[in-house]
């Protein structure tokens, strides 16, 4: 799938990409055009990809990309059809190339292009409050409501029968039918992703979106960041309470229930039918299975298999937790 | 006390209620009208009540209600004056009946009925900012201030000398004298209460309100949900710091001090002269006594008696906590 | 440095100050005028200061102030050039005197003096959204952006190339160049500081400001309170994620990275190159050194030396934490 929202400024010549990331190599036989930068799995032979961790070894071996940003150590794992471009810091180079293809994905200043909803066609289709602003590339379905002072910035699609509260800000998001997003939320801003640098940190582009599926509810004061290279996804009929923070690339399954002040760090994957108690925190890059219960206040720092109840910091089996804390 | 804000659409015939909850019974001798649905304690002989847990056994034995939604197991505890209506899931049936009596209590979409404060009589009585909106059934006392972009939605009473910040949203709340509610708060929205259902969760109505008594202060970015069958109450001269979440039905006593990012889950009762350190969390349905100190970061999962200092997760006596963590 | 924002209503006669704090003493030989109230270190011979804890013994011995609010127990430590004024509760008296010098620092109601940015000179210099309000004594540098519904209340200076999001409120703050403050933040409100009192808590004035240095980023929904007697400071190139709470007087060094939902309580000092994981909490009056890593969910209740990695609640050396939790 091509990126739904961010304009791809490519194709770019390989020679231009090499200049950008300061790589000199004899491996590039022909100065072809590259159409996009994608992950190892999604890319095809007109794309450039990246490979920075042994975790992705199996996918790397089968990538269809023609070029791959990688390290001296990992380059031997790539198929012969893929030219390795060896750099010191893979992710910094990926960030630079992504910014070249998608320069609009790095700037998250307020959306200047919005106009008053009264000046749009939505004025006859949507029930809306005072001072509602609508950006470019916005679609809104039937029977929707949008509360006072809410800003639907650019690149937002809202399905039928959805209700957005007041003082809420949404951008770069695909919101399905029958979704409720309550007051004072911020949905679709870039995540907390950047390369630390002593003078000035280097932001990396977030070309992903936020996807909120049917029948979800998002409580007041919550923040849901959009993905960097992938998307942030809230599955069908999942309910979030107030003051929850969902970081970039997080995926949550269906029918899950997440209580107040929970935080889920970047790229974690939560299953379906999961219940998370208030103030629990889940570290980044964690897998939580289906039918899991996580007690309030828990700190989850390792994967949790299906059908498990955990509690504690660090979270462990709830029986063990209760026994240890008698 | 009748409900101060939500219109009661009753009375309804018992036969209509039986149809709604799909109960067939020979116990109902006469198709009388029922005026309201109330808890076991408050209801009288023109009301229907509900009894779903042995915790309420003593109150159930003395209820004055004529009808009671209950289970096969509990029905024998009711007085002979009260006709048991046996269902599979008491709370789901209660939800349906409450929605019948109070249909307005289930919808928490933004308040479309608000108008600019300049179009109301408050324009000469209140000191207010730009873009302030006022709903129906709002009263505001003397010497009050309301900040910019703040929305006083329907069903709000504010006493004298109170000050509301900017970007704050209030509905269904009774706010007393000398109260300060700072910026970006949401007060009086429904709680995180619903019946999970694989296709689409079933929201239950919240017919309670938020009551904030004299001299309280509520910090920036806090959320206080209104009660479901009872009210959410903040006692006199209690101060809440920023980013606090108070769930539905919580009651907090007087002169209590609650530091930043604390969360109190549904239906917990906190005493007077209580101090709660930052980021502490209190589970639902917990009793915290008077003169209690709860250390920052604690997770309270059981009742705490008066005059106790606790800390830890789970919270325990502070001496024990410090000894165990030397 | 004189206070940048709050008007000093002094000088006041010593006799008036004695009356205010209800002190009778024969030590005051001449009814001189006092120009300001300052801490032990900053005050000179036209100032009054205060000394309430043995922690400040060495500084007290060398204070240049002419008068000092203190206790019977501590008064003997002051130099002969400094007249001790003995009271029951030093901080309550300090609060009263500070309120006399700086009455504007105690009231944090919404800023009524703001006007629409279209009516200011900034309309030609700043890129701004709809419904932006600007208070008195505000300066904004070149190439700045201010989002929709944002309120820059009185006493704010913003440097060049800075970007403020939407629905954000700022007052009493010095914001440097290249700073980003995202949506729904509140920066510069008074801290959670007051003297508990059974009838009505006594707020103490916050005469400090918030200082945010070059290249910082502040995430959505964060709150940063201004200082009471000192300032709240965020050092250069420090990044804060969403929903963070920074209390009054906190100082954070340079190049630090603070993940979502972290809370730092009043007067704590955090070094440079510090990384704090999501939902961690730091108690008040704590020192965290340079190059420290604090794991997500940690609760820091004692000082942490430089170059240390900690985790847990209470936070301890991360090796110890991992060993104890195998």
Distance CA C179, CA C56 (A): 35
Neighbors of chain A by Cβ distance (3+ pairs < 8 Å): B, C
How many cross-chain Cβ pairs, A to B, lie less than 8 Å apart?
A: 125
Q: How many CB atoms lie within 10 A of CB C254?
A: 19
> Is the predicted pLDDT of residue A20 greater than 80, yes or no?
yes
B259 contacts chain C (CB < 8 A): yes
Stretch B28-38: mean pLDDT = 92
Q: How many residue contacts between A and C have a Cβ separation below 8 Å?
A: 126
In this complex, which of B149, B189, B301 lies closest to A220 when CB atoms are compared?
A: B189
Tell which residue, A36, A56, A39, has the closest CA to residue A47: A36
Going through B126-205 in order, the beta strands assigned E by DSSP cover 127-128, 133-134, 138-140, 145-146, 151-152, 156-158, 163-164, 169-170, 173-175, 180-181, 186-187, 194-195, 202-203
Residue of C nearest to A167 (CA): C167
Nearest CA in chain A to C274: A196
Give per-residue pLDDT as tens, A271-324: 999 999 999 999 999 999 999 999 999 999 999 999 999 999 999 999 999 998
**B1: pLDDT strictly greater than 60:** no
If pLDDT is split at 50, 70 and 90, which confidence band does C4 have?
A: confident
Residues 6 or more apart whose CB falls under 8 angstroms from that of B1 comprise none
Residues from chain A contacting residue C238 (CB–CB below 8 Å): none
Asked if A192's CB is within 8 angstroms of C241's CB, the reply is yes
Decide if B248 is catalytic: yes
Phi, psi dihedrals of residue C36, rounded to the nearest 5°: -165, 165
pLDDT of residue A142: 97
Subunit contact C166:A196, Cβ cutoff 8 A: no
Contact between B281 and A259 using a beta-carbon 8 Å cutoff: no
C-alpha to C-alpha distances, C107 to A171, B59, C161, C191, C318, nearest whole angstrom: 36, 48, 31, 12, 44
Q: Give C-chain residues touching A245 at CB under 8 angstroms.
A: 241-243, 260-261, 278
Q: pLDDT tier at A199 (50, 70, 90 boundaries)?
A: confident
Q: Is the pLDDT of residue C281 over 70?
A: yes
B211 forms beta bridges with B174, B233
**Contact present, B172 and B187 (Cβ < 8 Å):** no
pLDDT at B28: 85
Q: How far does C120 lie from chain A, in Å, by closest CA? A: 19
More confident residue, C304 or C229: C304
Mean pLDDT, chain C, rounded, equals 95
Confidence of residue C268 (pLDDT cuts 50, 70, 90): very high
What is the C-alpha radius of gyration for chain C, rounded to an integer number of angstroms?
22
pLDDT in the model for residue B2: 60
Q: Which chains touch C (3 or more CB pairs under 8 A)?
A: A, B
Q: How far apart are CA A201 and CA C314, in angstroms?
A: 31
CA B130 to chain C, closest CA, distance in angstroms equals 9
| Nearest C-alpha in C relative to B215 | C200
DSSP per-residue codes, A15-46:
HHHHHHTT---S---S--EE-EE--TTT--TT
DSSP designation for A204 = P
Query: Closest residue of B to C111, CA-based?
Result: B147
Q: What percent of chain C has pLDDT over 90?
A: 85
Contacts of A299 in chain C (CB under 8 A): 279, 296-297
Q: Tell me the average pLDDT across C269-281.
A: 98
Q: Does C222 touch chain A (CB under 8 A)?
A: no
Domain C12-105, second-level architecture: 3-Layer(aba) Sandwich (3.40)
Q: Is B317 on the interface with C (CB under 8 A)?
A: no
Cβ-based contacts of A279 with chain B (< 8 Å): 263, 279, 281, 299
Using one digit for the tens of pLDDT, what is the confidence trace for B246-256? Answer: 999 999 999 99
CA angle C63, C66, C69 (to 5 degrees): 80
Q: Has residue B3 got a pLDDT over 80?
A: no
CA distance A142 to B123: 36
> CB distance from C242 to chain B under 8 Å?
no
Residue that the structure tokens 């039905």 belong to: B249
Q: Which residues of B touch A242 (CB under 8 A)?
A: 186, 192, 223, 225, 245
Do the chains contact at B109 and A278, CB–CB below 8 Å? no
Please, which residues have CB within 8 angstroms of residue B297's CB and are 6 or more apart in sequence?
A: B277, B278, B279, B280, B311, B313, C281, C299, C301, C313
Give the pLDDT confidence of C29-76 residue by residue, as tens digits: 889 999 999 989 889 999 999 999 998 899 999 999 999 999 999 999
**Cα angle A72, A74, A77; round to 5:** 125
- C119 touching B (Cβ < 8 Å): no
Q: What is the pLDDT of residue C15?
A: 95
CA–CA gap between residue A230 and residue A10 (Å, rounded)? 19
**C28: pLDDT strictly greater than 90:** no
How does DSSP classify residue C66? S
Distance from CA of B274 to the nearest CA of C (A): 11
Mean pLDDT of C128-147: 97
The answer to whether C260 contacts A261, with C-beta atoms less than 8 Å apart, is: no
C253 to chain A, any CB pair closer than 8 A? The answer is no
Interface membership of B263 toward C (CB under 8 Å): no
- What chain B residue is nearest to A259 in terms of C-alpha separation? B192
Q: How far is A229 from chain C (nearest CA, A)?
A: 19
- Strand A316-317 and strand A309-311: pairing? antiparallel
User: Which CATH superfamily is A115-324 part of?
Assistant: Hexapeptide repeat proteins (2.160.10.10)
What digits encode the pLDDT tens for the residues B192-221?
A: 988 888 888 888 889 999 999 999 999 999
The whole-angstrom separation of Cα A270 and Cα A282 is: 10
In which residue ranges of chain A is CATH 2.160.10.10 found?
Answer: 115-324
Contact assignment for A200 to C215 by CB distance below 8 Å: yes
pLDDT band at B75 (very low <50, low <70, confident <90, very high): very high
Question: Cβ–Cβ of A192/C242 closer than 8 Å?
Answer: yes
- Does C3 score more than 80 pLDDT? no
Contacting partners of chain B (3+ CB pairs under 8 A): A, C
Exactly one of B52, B206, B248, B285 is catalytic; which is it?
B248
Q: What is the pLDDT at residue C297?
A: 97
Q: Is residue A204 within 8 Å of residue A183, measured between CB atoms?
A: no
pLDDT digits (tens, 9 = 90+) for C78-92: 999 999 999 999 989
Do the strands A232-234 and A194-195 form a parallel or antiparallel pair, or are they unpaired?
Answer: unpaired
The pTM score is 0.94
CA A64, A66, A71, A77 dihedral sign is positive
- Range of weakest confidence among A209-213, B12-16, C195-199, C299-303: C195-199
Nearest CA in chain B to C166: B167
For chain B positions 173-212, those within 8 Å of chain C (CB to CB) are 178, 180, 182-184
Burial-class residue A209 by CB neighbours within 10 Å (0-12, 13-18, 19+): buried
pLDDT at C116: 98
CB atoms C255 and A198 under 8 Å: yes
pLDDT at C196: 87
Which of B169, B172, B174, B176 minimizes the C-alpha distance to B190? Answer: B172
C-chain residues near B313 (CB < 8 A): 313
Residue B133: C-alpha distances to residues A73, A218, B112, B116, B143 (Å): 62, 24, 10, 5, 18
Distance set, CA A225 to CA A247, C33, C181 (Å) = 5, 56, 15
Question: Contact A110/C148, CB-based, under 8 Å?
Answer: yes
Q: Where in chain A is the domain with CATH 3.40.1390.10?
A: 12-105
Q: Which residues, numbered 40 to 69 in chain C, qualify as contacts with chain B under a Cβ-Cβ cut-off of 8 Å?
A: none
- Compute the distance between CA of residue B107 and CA of residue B6 in angstroms, rounded to an integer: 11
Question: Using one digit for the tens of pLDDT, what is the confidence trace for C192-203?
Answer: 988 888 888 888
- The region that residue C279 occupies, defined by phi over 0 for left and psi between -120 and 50 for alpha, beta otherwise, is left
**CB-CB: which of A184, A220, A237 is closest to B201?**
A237
Provide mean pLDDT across the span A130-135: 98
Return the residue in B116, B129, B166 with the most chain C beta carbons within 10 A, the one to mutate for interface testing.
Answer: B166
Q: What is the pLDDT of residue C194?
A: 87
Q: How far is CA C53 from the centre of its chain?
A: 20
Range 99-118 of A in CB contact (< 8 A) with B: none
Is A182–B189 a contact, with Cβ atoms under 8 angstroms apart?
A: yes
Q: What is the DSSP string of B233-278?
A: EE-TT-EE-SS-EE-TT-EE-SS-EE-TT-EE-TT-EE-SS-EE-T
Nearest CA in chain B to A273: B198
What pLDDT does residue B26 have?
85
Closest Cα partner for A66 from A14, A24, A25?
A: A14
Q: Count how many Cα atoms sit within 13 Å of the Cα of residue B27 in the half-sphere of its side chain.
A: 17
Residue of C nearest to B180 (CA): C109
Q: In chain A, which residues have their Cβ closer than 8 Å to the Cβ of B192?
A: 219, 239, 241-242, 259-260
Mutate which of C133, C179, C241 to disrupt the A interface (most A C-beta within 10 Å)? C241
Give the pLDDT of residue B216: 98
Give the residue from chain B lying closest to A184, CA to CA: B184
Q: Do A196 and C257 touch (CB under 8 A)?
A: yes
> In the prediction, which pLDDT does A2 show?
61
């Amino acid at each position: 799938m091509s990126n739904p929202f961010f304009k791809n400024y490519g194709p770019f010549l390989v020679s231009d990409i090499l200049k950008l990331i300061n790589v000199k190599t004899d491996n590039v036989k022909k100065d072809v055009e590259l159409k996009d930068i994608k992950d190892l799995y999604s890319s095809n032979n007109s794309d450039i990809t990246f490979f920075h961790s042994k975790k992705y070894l199996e996918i790397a071996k089968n990538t269809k990309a023609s070029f791959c940003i990688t390290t001296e150590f990992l380059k031997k794992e790539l198929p012969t059809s893929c030219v390795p471009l060896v750099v010191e810091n893979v992710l910094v180079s990926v960030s630079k190339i992504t910014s070249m293809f998608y320069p609009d994905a790095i700037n998250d200043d307020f959306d200047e292009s919005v106009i008053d909803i009264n000046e749009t066609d939505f004025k006859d289709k949507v029930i809306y409050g005072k001072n509602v602003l609508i950006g470019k590339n916005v679609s809104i379905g039937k029977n929707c409501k949008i509360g006072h002072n809410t800003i639907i910035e650019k690149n937002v699609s809202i399905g039928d029968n959805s209700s957005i509260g007041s003082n809420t800000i949404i951008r770069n998001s695909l919101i399905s039918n029958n979704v409720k997003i309550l007051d004072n939320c911020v949905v679709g801003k870039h995540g907390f992703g950047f390369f630390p640098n002593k003078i000035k940190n280097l932001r990396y582009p977030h070309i992903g979106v936020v996807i909120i599926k049917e029948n979800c509810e998002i409580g007041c004061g919550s923040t849901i960041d959009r993905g960097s290279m992938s998307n942030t996804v809230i599955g069908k009929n999942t309910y979030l309470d107030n003051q929850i923070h969902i970081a970039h690339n997080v995926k949550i399954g269906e029918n899950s229930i997440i209580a107040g002040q929970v935080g889920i760090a970047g790229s974690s994957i939560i299953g379906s039918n999961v219940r998370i108690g208030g103030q629990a925190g889940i570290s980044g890059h964690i897998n939580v299975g289906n039918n899991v219960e996580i007690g309030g206040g828990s700190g989850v720092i390792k994967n949790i298999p299906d059908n498990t109840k955990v509690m504690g910091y660090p979270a462990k089996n709830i029986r063990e937790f209760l026994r240890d804390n008698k």
